[in-house]
Chain A
Amino acid sequence: MDYVFLVGSSICIYAVLGVCLNLIFGYGNIGVVCSASFFGIGAYTSALLTLAGWNFFPTMLVAIAVGALLSMVISLPALRVHWDYLVIITIAFNILMYQTMLNLQDITGGSFGIRDIPPIELFGFLFKTRLSYFLLTLVFAPLCFLAVRYVANSMYGISLMAIGEDELAAKSIGKNVGLHKIMAMAIGMSLTAAAGSLFSHQSTYINCESFTLHDTVLVLSIMIVGGMGNLWGSIVGAFILVSLPELLKFVGMSSSVAFRVRELIFGLAIVLVLMLFPKGIMGKEQPAEGRVKHMLKQKS
C-alpha cells in the first residue's frame, strides 16, 4: 500500500511539472527542454537547507526564488534566438546542469547524492509516512494547478497564447513579447523548482540521476500526451506516464529493462500523439465558441 502512495505522490508531483511546462511550451510556444534541471535545483536547495536546520516551507520559497532567477539564464537566449534552436540550447543546459550536479560532489554528493533528508514538518505535524506525504502532494498539486490555470486564463495568459501562436501579430498590436516570455519562464520554472523542493522529501534521499535529460523528456511526454495547451491533459498525461512503468515492473520486468521500455514509451507517445492527435488525448480544451459565449454573457 505504501508503494501505491509513493507512485501517487510521484504522479502529483510530475503533474505539476507537466502543467508548468505546458504554460511555457504549450501556451507560449517557448521551446524549453530542461524541466528536470529546475526540478533538481529546487530539490537540492530544499535538501541542503533542511539539513542545515531550516523548516521546510521557507526552503520552498527559496527554491521558488532560485528557480525564477535561474530562469533568466534561459530567458536571455530565448529572446535572442526565437527559434527551434532554443530546444537544443536548453537540452545543452539540461546536460550542463546534470554534469554540475554530478561533479560538484562537495555540495551535491555527486551520484551518491544527499542522504538523511529530514521529513517535512508543517504546523507541528511531521510528514513521515508515505501516506501523509502523499496527502501533502495531493494538496500541493491542485494548488499549483489552480495557480497556473489562473495565470493561463488571465489577460496575461491569453496574450501569452497569442504570442505563442503568432509572435509578429502580437507585436504589431502592442504586446511586449519579451516580457511575456520572461514571465512565463519565471513562473513555470519557479513552480517546477517548488515541486522539486517537495520532491526531495519524498524519500530521505536524492541524487542527480533523477534530474537527467531523460527525466525532462518524461515531463515533455506528459505535456504532449495530455495535449499542448491543455492543462487538465497534463494531469492525465502524468497519471498515464508515471504509472505505466510501475505497472510494467509489476508484470515482472527487471528494472533496467523497464527503464529502456519507459524510454521507448516516451518516444512512441511523443510520435504517435503528435502525428495522430495533434491536440493531445484530451482534444481541444475550450473551443472559442464556448469562451466567447461566456464572455458576451458577462456583458449584460
Chain B
Amino acid sequence: MTDLVLSLLFNGFVVGCRYLVAVLFFTLVQTSIEVIHIAYGGVIVLAGCAAFITIKLGLPIWLALLTAMLSGVVLSTVMELVIYRPLRRKQASNMIVMLVSLGMLYIIQSSADLILGGLTSRLRPEMALSFSLGPLVITDAAIWTMIGATVVSISLLFLLYGTSIGRSLRALSSNRQLARSAGIDVNRLALVVFSLSGIGAGLFVILEGLDLGIRAYMGFDIALISAFATIIGGFGSLSGAALAAVLIGMAKDTFPLYFATVWQQLLLYLCIFMFMLAKPRGFFGRKVWKAEL
C-alpha cells in the first residue's frame, strides 16, 4: 500500500511541478503589476494551439516548444499593449481589470474551442519512455517537468535578486507609490514580465502536452489553479505560491486514493475553499494593511 501512496505522491509532485511553472509566472505578474492575470489561461491555450499545429506539421517537439513560447510572448505583449496598459492609464480598479482578464480568457478559450473542436492532442503518439526507481515509475515527461520547474525557479530567483530589473520588480511589489516616484518605468517592466510569462506559457503547455495532451479547456483549469495557488500561497509570496502549486498537484493525485472518483473534485475544492476562508493571508502572506492604497 505504501508503494502506491509513494508513487501517487511522486506523480502528484510532478504534476505540482508542472503547475508551478505556470503559477510562478502568474504570481510574478500579480505581485509586480497587481494584475490578476486570469487571461494567462488564454495565453497558454494559444501557445498550445501553436504547438499543436507545429506537431501536426510533423516538426520536432523542440520546435513546437519554440513556437509555443513565441506565440505566448506575442499574445502576452498584445494583451499588455492593447488591454492592460490602457486600463492602467485609466486607473481602472483591480476588480475591473480582473473582469476584463476573465473576459479575455473566455474569448480566447471559446475561439480555440470552436476552431479545435474539443480535441485532445497528445504531443507524441508513442508511449512515454520510462524507467523504474524502486516503487516509482518515472517517465521522461516527469524528468522534463522537474527539470523545467527547477530551471524556471532558479531563473526567476536570479532575475529577482541578481538583476536590476529584478530589483525594480521587487521594489514595485513592496511599495508601489514609492517605487513609481523613484522613477521606475512600470510600462517597461510590465512588458518584461508579460513576455516572460509568455515564455513560461510555452514551456507549461509543452509539459502538459507531454503528459495529458493539449485540451481546449485547459486554459480555465490552469488559470483557476494559478489563482488559487496565489491566494493559498499568500499575498506577494512567490515561494508560497510555488509551495501551493505543488500541494495542489499532490492533492489532485492522492485524493483519488482515499475518495471515490466522484468526490475528488468536490473535496479538492472544499479544501481549497475552506483554506481560503480560514487563512485568507495564505502561507507566507505579507500583512497587507488594507488602508494602504
Interface residues of chain A, those whose CB is within 8 Å of chain B, are: 29, 31, 76-77, 80-82, 84-85, 87-89, 91-93, 95-96, 99-100, 102-103, 168, 217, 220, 224, 257, 260-261, 263-264, 266-271, 274-275, 278
Q: Report the separation of the CA atoms of residues A126 and B291 in the bound assembly, to the nearest whole angstrom.
A: 55
Residue pair A99, B231 in contact (C-beta under 8 Å) = no
Partner of B106, one of A89, A93, A267: A267
B162 within 8 A of A: no
Q: Report the separation of the CA atoms of residues A91 and B276 in the bound assembly, to the nearest whole angstrom.
A: 12
B residues 61-116 in Cβ contact with A at 8 Å: 83, 86-87, 90, 92-96, 98-100, 102-111, 113-114
Partner of B100, one of A29, A31, A96, A270: A270
CB distance from A168 to the nearest CB of B (A): 6
Residue pair A29, B95 in contact (C-beta under 8 Å) = yes
Q: Report the separation of the CA atoms of residues A78 and B111 in the bound assembly, to the nearest whole angstrom.
A: 33
CB distance from B112 to the nearest CB of A (A): 10
Q: Which residue of A lies closest to B220 (CB)?
A: A213
Segment at the interface with A among B17-25, B120-128, B149-157, B262-270: B262-270
Q: A260-B113, A261-B110 are in contact. Are A77 and B280 (CB under 8 A)?
A: yes
Q: Report the separation of the CA atoms of residues A215 and B160 in the bound assembly, to the nearest whole angstrom.
A: 40
Q: Which residue of B lies closest to A264 (CB)?
A: B110
Q: A88-B231, A103-B262 are in contact. Are A261 and B114 (CB under 8 A)?
A: yes
11 further interface pairs, Cβ-Cβ under 8 Å (given A92-B269, A264-B110): A87-B98, A88-B228, A92-B228, A95-B269, A99-B266, A99-B269, A263-B110, A267-B102, A267-B105, A274-B103, A278-B92
Residue pair A271, B103 in contact (C-beta under 8 Å) = yes
Q: A29-B95, A93-B273 are in contact. Are A263 and B109 (CB under 8 A)?
A: yes
Residue pair B231, A89 in contact (C-beta under 8 Å) = yes
Residue pair B86, A275 in contact (C-beta under 8 Å) = yes
Residue pair A275, B100 in contact (C-beta under 8 Å) = yes
Residue pair B104, A260 in contact (C-beta under 8 Å) = no
Interchain Cβ contacts within 8 Å, total number: 114
Most buried by A among B83, B104, B276, B290: B276
CB distance from A104 to the nearest CB of B (A): 9
Chain A residues lying within 8 Å of B270, measured Cβ to Cβ, are 96
Q: Report the separation of the CA atoms of residues A275 and B262 in the bound assembly, to the nearest whole angstrom.
A: 40
Chain B residues lying within 8 Å of A81, measured Cβ to Cβ, are 280
Q: Which residue of A lies closest to B231 (CB)?
A: A85
Residue pair B98, A96 in contact (C-beta under 8 Å) = no
Pull 29 A–B residue pairs with CB atoms less than 8 Å apart, ordered by A: A29-B93, A29-B95, A31-B95, A76-B277, A84-B95, A85-B276, A88-B231, A88-B276, A89-B276, A89-B277, A92-B224, A92-B228, A92-B272, A95-B265, A96-B273, A100-B266, A102-B266, A103-B262, A260-B110, A263-B109, A267-B105, A267-B107, A270-B99, A270-B103, A271-B83, A274-B96, A275-B100, A278-B90, A278-B92
Chain B residues lying within 8 Å of A264, measured Cβ to Cβ, are 106-107, 110-111, 114
Residue pair A103, B266 in contact (C-beta under 8 Å) = yes
CB distance from A112 to the nearest CB of B (A): 13
B29 within 8 A of A: no
Chain A residues lying within 8 Å of B263, measured Cβ to Cβ, are 103
* A-B pairs with lowest CB-CB distance, top 8: A267-B106, A270-B103, A267-B107, A99-B266, A271-B103, A263-B110, A264-B110, A96-B269
Residue pair A270, B102 in contact (C-beta under 8 Å) = yes
Q: Which residue of B lies closest to A266 (CB)?
A: B106
Chain B residues lying within 8 Å of A271, measured Cβ to Cβ, are 83, 100, 103-104, 107
Chain B residues lying within 8 Å of A93, measured Cβ to Cβ, are 273
